[in-house]
Structure 1
């Protein structure tokens, strides 16, 4: 009993299972997670270690090297990069995908990383550390607000956000709440050295007195009766005013001196701020909300919006939450758009089937298609595959292929019934003869997409759901084709018996196809040369196809990055960026501008990588109401802003889809000496600057910055009993301030910082008057007596290393709207011609590296997929010549691919490569149907030549309809930036290749099997 016979015998069970699948599909659709992009794990952690006062070179040698050596002991490490700045070491660790396919394994690796870092702490120099490991580096704050308040200070806004945060963390699905641009407060005590000296007060005594205040220590306890009672002496500072009443001593033994007598005490923000943010020119604090792992961002967004409405009465009037990015809304819109595309594709496919097969056959195949989609949704829910850009796109891509099996079965039953066979016996016979060839073709079609599903790269992780969704859907399509389709045919098909041969004459196109094929097979040489000429022309024409990697996003936002000269104060950066924002806001389509200064924003989308902290850096996130017009606006602003801000390095860019980001052209030089590396980078930048197509040219070490170096008079210092440490402390106390304690305010610990008054620290000349305590003289001496002068030295502000090698990158970008490959191809030979000293190397990073890694991943996995496809075809036929016929047809795909990409001017991107791989599977699947039918016809005793023609004619309609439904089903993806190149490849490749396949497969069959032509009269009959 075959599958169809069993289904027809158990019809009640079959109908019941059908209803359960439809119900399960609906429930799964409602419960499936929804995201804009596929979730992928960011396998990076950042290790921060402070080393106050150390120059970048000292930080690199004494701190960064220690941390790098410790973390590189982990075998799971992919790459270790580091940034050494003044007093700060930042080491970033990236983990190989194979060791951490999910967050569960990653958390275990982060635990090992922490142990390694903790074990290395004793190797750090005095004054450095402790190291802090941040493994939340990849958290996405899908709900991102700019909180503004006209008439409110940033501190008042932050106080409101502290209360709001507690409420938001109680919302179901919310994982983390973060802020950006909140001011750091401190209690500043400014002591005038002259006044302290006049009253006979030593600054060391003052610092010691302050350090002893507000220190919490165990006071012990006392047993009173049956109870233990804790001591808690009063005297802690509970207000800023109370600080002024700290008794420091007495001037003459009688008069008590209080802190307020010699110091000005204020509470204010720490300058310079670490980061600044504004929204449409108003100072703001960023508020980011992330969902728990695996949470549904749409549900979380709705729940947060509801909670904010409930808390509306508690929000102070004037404080507003401005939306920077609300991913739940964009996800809902994107998913709804994809679902609409899916529905449109289903309608198109069903209408085509009805048009070419009749309404009954169309309804049958359409019903099977609907059931297949329902089954796929169930599988997606069980496999935890959310509805997102890639998975929904995969469903649309699969739509046309999903009906292939049902079309073959329906058409076979229809033909048999037209010849007078009973419906049930026709259904059983057709399924018996086609179930295994269709299964083989389905497996081959699935394996065509396996390259991306098995790719061991980040891009494989990002787009991997494409393979799994197509696999589930195609397996369901085969299952329902051999079970439900015959049941529906038996139930619904009503046909008239047509005399043999009459159906072909009624369908005039099949009759003409038979005559054309008859001529083509007789003129074998001419036909073969014609096909090879078309193939050669397509290969040559591929030179006019633009290369690419990943497309730009259609998101109605774009970005302006700005760098001032390295070392610029963050306030100066903010002023320059505000001027830029004011100019950009004058553009008609611009609606809102969010400004970040000192660092990038919170990671509000998975493919956005915030810039590392840098006071010279600023970023504008610009909202527009005309997303299609962004490309022209980006091009316009790149020229205008560059001209208006000559001292700034400016890059205007659109968001990209998929993984990647950063500079598109990067050449990395590795070596030991920083000066030599800088020289090599300068040579590369000079070459880039000569190319008019290169913009935003820079290196990632940035400019050198000035360092003031007091030259210590060793003789005078030794005579005074002063060493370099005391001189450094005096400079720090005067100009920056020294932390001497904390002020407790509820759950906050506010630092208490002592420094000189502004009048003593505002000018570089004030260095000479800095007071340094001399133990020998027991008094303070001016700095001018201890140093012979102050030198200005230009030093590296940033030192970067990759895998412990000093590495500098020369970077550039192509003009807006241009692909990077043409620029890269022009620059590559010139830069590689730079003579490298012994021990130095050159590597290409940027988009070239990202693209190579993705393509290498396909190169690793594709051979396995293609080998499995070849093996499946060989096993199916248990022969070599039939698979040879099938696989020799595959190159025909390139003809339509070239035509489509050239006509639409679409770059040959990563998704286009996947389209080509899938296209091969589709062609092989169609070829299997033709070759298998030819074998069947020959086994039934027909002459070889006649059998091949009859097989081609009998399978022409299902092959043609399968291709047509696939082409039209994919059509809605032409308007999706991510899938556009794949859609063009599949539509044009399949269209051309299907028409040619209907001729080339029979041609190759008769050639390889050496089948002679029959007499023309016999062939026509």
Structure 2
């Protein structure tokens, strides 16, 4: 009984095959239209933020009393990598960071565990602590950010209009949520003079109590009748300024309206905690998040329509602008990739036409859309969108997916030229090379296995490379063995039969042309000088290994998006006003720059996450971000240089950092060194020493400390005995001082969905300069007014306004940007080597660790190489199944590293860095090379089975396989060319171009030489027996 032949089945059932071709083409075209569009593949940001507020507490108290108990509790969380804690007076934020290999499916359950664990200790926290609060939506990406401006409008009117816009945007299909950002909180201020308090015998606490009692929401009960229950309500809760004015306050047996003894007015939070400006004008932001699985381009179109309709409804003077538009970026990126894709397809087709002839080339050309149709269908079924990684993988696969079609049709052409009938020739590829092609395809796909199975955020980000290429390659094999024979049967030219008559029945005549004879002489020479060829190849491999050390190391490159980030940080303890003033200087610098389309300023906190790799900055009054939208990439670079020059010349109160957006998982500063320990003084001294070393390095710029400056403080040391004699305690003094200086929140008025704080403050004439704080007057319980200096001593000092910790250890990060053309991992690695010689010995308990791009690169590469053994085992198993011989397996596998030679040379010539994506390319090269080797070794075995000597089998098999090997390599190499101009894929493209080119040459030279050496073949001209081929 003959073995099943899929190609023969296709020839026998031509109508069914044609039907499948049409169905596949239609399904593929439909699937392409339904595929999601995104800028980048999604990956899980494994970070949750826990915050708590304790008004009046110092940074040290927040650290010891609030942060430390939470940190201890979180240390029991499964999959925890570290907890990074940021503490400042009255506020703490803990970033709970999971291990990079945490399964994305488990993240939701882990965030529930965080809430549960922290909630369990909430009662153990000090009285007065507000929270903890949890933000597990920290990783949400806002695909569009709008701003609403109205220079002449009041804040309340601007907020009301923004709310209407927000509701309108929420009605757009596939919008998940719309966040209103930059709203300045409304306040009701109660200003009362110290003289009035003393005159009436009032204390601030009396007023606070009166407001709290009036505003309390207390159930009044209910009354049950025979048929229904009637609930009783008591009115009187505060609802506005007039209600606050009418609150009765008792003093010395008399009752006064609060409005009669104090100035009650409505206003805004002062100073503000967060503010947004659009091109210098006060604005409110609206950040739009998309539902999972939606098409960002389609949503962008719907948002544009909705925004235009909302603009028409806005009052005169209100302007709604879109400041970030991911849909536009995605559309441009996909258009660029589709253009590169079309160029790559054209290149492959031209190679096919020129090398195989017009009609034969058409058959190979038709294999491309058929394979892509199947790939798009599988991508839709697996939920893989069109984005940076999947589109690049499609272009990479283009040069590979025609390999099987070229091999199959080339084999068919050869057999027809040798005199075979067309139908029989169409089925020969299955008999001869179908399974070597299949296992070669699987080996090639296995070359991308490390990135597909890497347990890391980087693997999650780039894992689509493996999925898309594996799908395309497997489908290309089915196209080659089913559809290609069918197409060849109908489309190959009749002239092939005429050529067969010219050659007669000599099957080897077509391999005796001058070109093949020259190749045969080269191969014979390589086999004769086999030791020299193998030794030379080994030397080239050693040289490539040395060359790797010369290549700059990179994690991921910067994005080509036109946005620039100008970040300003004032000294620790600096005010919101300082950050605002420094931001205005940057705005003035770029306001009239023709390269700048617009700019949006965020003061007091960072922008929302408008880009996957952008990490929002936590609230901080000394921080400002100017998000600059330039007109194109070239304009971005000009503005970048201009701002860097400004940063170098300015002597402002804030440091300026200018950066581009990153690709891949977010890193921040490319060079980061963490100094950690237990004694803050030792940590600070070591960090300052390290900063000096880094500043002396020409490759770094803008070196600074993440924190470390001490802030001024005024401490009132209360004489407790004297205070008690006067009827005062510490809380009375603190309340009076807070009222006199910044205001005290007495209660909250409910206004629709918002809470408006009622702030009790001293009258303006009683608010004094800091140098006269001892003269501030506080009222005793019996109504006397006394200066603070009578019960407390004023002391001036300094404290650490913020504290950063990592896993409960204090950590101070020294960070820096790098000069153009310099890679962060290279600088970090060099610094780690030099530090012992250039720094003072580290104090006991202090250590220095690498962070930034170096740490992320090491972590990502570690996850990649952790899967490397599995990849090697998978390849060996596949090869062994096919060749079923240890010696043949070694013969195939020994070609795995050959691509490294050309890859390193190409990267050095092109001056491209050796980053994560380039490493993927070098690893995957091994599978591509072994694919050709596997088919070649199978051909050697077929020749041996037909009676050839081992020497003749090696020589003639190499000659016969040379044409398809060169053609497939040429198609792949040329298809990679469009990717060389892409900042993300460029290094991989160069590595693959160089690697495949060199490996193709070595496959035709090194492999015969090594086979001759391995099988102890003597002079190729000598007679040898098949027995010499024994393993």
- In the other structure, the counterpart of 1:285 is 284
In structure 1, the partner of 2:217 is 216
Could you report, residue by residue, the CA deviation over 1:64-97 in whole angstroms, capped at 9, with x for unpaired residues?
0111122222213222111111011111112235
- The 3 A distance-change label for structure 1 pair 343 and 800 is same
Q: Which of 86, 89, 107 is the equivalent residue of 2:89?
A: 86
Match of 1:973 among 970, 976, 979: 979
Pair 1:950-2:951 in alignment: no
Give 5+ residue unaligned stretches, structure 1: none
2:152 is the counterpart of 1:151: yes
The verdict on how the C-alpha distance between 1:487 and 1:985 changes in structure 2, with shifts beyond 3 A counting, is same
Cα drift, residue 134 of structure 1: 1.1
**Deviation of the 1:860 alpha carbon:** 0.3
Aligned to 2:397: 398
Tell me: CA distance 1:640–1:249, structure 2 relative to 1, closer, same or farther (3 Å): closer
What is the number of residues matched between the two proteins? 1013
TM-score normalized by the length of structure 1: 0.96
Structure 1's 291 and 390: CA in aligned 2 closer, same or farther, altered over 3 A?
same
| Alignment partner of 1:749 out of 729, 740, 755 | 755
Local SS of the residue matching 1:213 = helix
**Could you say what secondary structure the match of 1:130 adopts?**
strand
Match of 2:1028 in 1: none
Equivalent position of 1:243 in the other structure: 244
Structure 2 CA distance, aligned partners of 1:323 and 1:70?
Answer: 43
Match for residue 5 of structure 1?
Answer: 8
Relative to 1, partners in 2 of residues 1:236 and 1:121: Cα closer, same or farther, differing over 3 Å?
closer
3-state secondary structure, aligned to 2:585: helix
- Which of residues 29, 32, 46 in structure 2 aligns to 1:26? 29
Contact 1:559 1:620 in 2 (8 A): yes
Question: What is residue 198 of structure 1 aligned with on the other side?
Answer: 199
1:561 matched to 2:560: no
Deviation, 1:619, is 1.6
Higher mean C-alpha deviation, range 903-912 or range 494-503: 494-503
The superposition leaves residues 589-617 of structure 1 with CA deviations (integer Å, 9 ceiling, x where unpaired) of 22222212111100001110112222111
Are residue 601 (structure 1) and residue 607 (structure 2) matched? yes
1:869 aligns with 2:875: yes
Q: Which moved more, 1:411-420 or 1:762-771?
A: 762-771
Give the one of 699, 702, 722 matched to 1:696.
Answer: 702
Q: Distance in 2 between matches of 1:702 and 1:581?
A: 28
Correspondence 1:902-917 to 2 at 5 A: 902-917=908-923
Higher mean C-alpha displacement, 7-16 vs 570-579? 7-16
Tell me the equivalent position of 1:50.
53
Question: How far is 1:410 from its partner?
Answer: 0.7
**Is 1:548 the equivalent of 2:554?**
yes
Which TM-score applies when normalising by structure 2? Answer: 0.95
Q: SS in structure 2 opposite 1:956?
A: helix
Q: Work out the CA distance in 2 between the residues paired with 1:827 and 1:761.
A: 52
Give the distance between the partners of 1:36 and 1:832, measured in 2 at CA. 43
2:590 aligns to what? 584
Q: How far apart in 1 are the matches of 2:691 and 2:401? A: 52
Matches within 5 A, 1:870-909: 870-909=876-915
Question: What does the per-residue CA deviation read over 1:216-272, in whole Å, with 9 as the maximum and x for residues that have no partner?
Answer: 32233446785544433443444313322333247785xx63222221112111122
Matches within 5 A, 1:407-422: 407-422=406-421
User: Alpha carbons of 1:629 and 1:897: their partners in 2 closer, same or farther (altered >3 Å)?
Assistant: farther
Alignment of 1:370 with 2:376, yes or no, is no
Question: Does the 8 Å CA contact 2:675/2:811 hold for their aligned counterparts?
Answer: yes
The partner residue of 1:804 within 788, 804, 808 is: 808
Q: After TM superposition, give the deviation of residue 491 of structure 1 in Å.
A: 2.1
Indicate the residue corresponding to 1:781 in structure 2: 786
Q: Once the 2 structures are TM-superposed, how far is the Cα of residue 532 of structure 1 from its aligned partner?
A: 4.0
Structure-1 residue corresponding to 2:169: 168
After superposition, the Cα gap between the structure-2 partners of 1:97 and 1:682, relative to the gap in structure 1 and judged at 3 Å, is: closer
Number of the residue aligned with 2:488? 489
Q: CA RMSD in A?
A: 2.2
* 1:69 counterpart residue number: 72
What is the CA-CA distance between 1:150 and the residue it aligns to?
2.6
The residue number in structure 2 matching 1:1000 is: 1006
- Segment of structure 1 superposing worse, 866-875 or 437-446: 866-875
Specify the alignment match of 2:1027 in structure 1.
none
Are 2:526 and 2:1006, in contact at CA under 8 Å, matched by a contact in 1? no
Equivalent positions of 1:617-696 (< 5 A) are 617-631=623-637, 633-696=639-702
Q: Deviation of residue 526 (structure 1)?
A: 4.0
* 8 A Cα contact 1:701 1:797, kept in partner: no
Q: What is the CA distance between 1:536 and its match in structure 2?
A: 4.2
Tell me if structure 2 keeps the 8 A contact 1:180–1:601: no
For residue 328 of structure 2, what is the aligned residue in structure 1? 329
Aligned to 1:448: 447
Verify the 8 A CA contact 1:154 1:285 in the aligned structure 2: no
Q: Which moved more, 1:516-525 or 1:33-42?
A: 516-525
Q: CA deviation at 1:958?
A: 0.7
Write the distance in 1 (CA, Å) between the matches of 2:57 and 2:820: 40
**Which consecutive residues of structure 2, in runs of 5 or more, have no partner in the other structure?**
1025-1031
Q: 1:848 aligns with which of 850, 854, 876?
A: 854
Which residue does the alignment assign to 2:521? 515
Match of 1:306 in 2: 305
The within-5 A match list for 1:170-189 is 170-189=171-190
- Per-residue CA deviations over 1:538-596 (Å, capped at 9, x if unaligned) read 44444442222211111011212221211111122111111122213444422222212
Say which SS state the counterpart of residue 692 (structure 1) adopts: coil
- Cα 1:359–1:718, aligned 2, differ >3 Å: closer, same or farther? same
CA contact (8 A) 1:221 1:229 kept: yes
Structure 1 CA distance for aligned equivalents of residues 882 and 796 of structure 2? 79
- Equivalents in 2 of 1:618, 1:683: separation in Å? 28
SS of aligned partner of 2:525: helix
State the Cα distance separating 1:988 from its structure 2 match: 1.4
In 2, Cα distance between equivalents of 1:778 and 1:449: 80
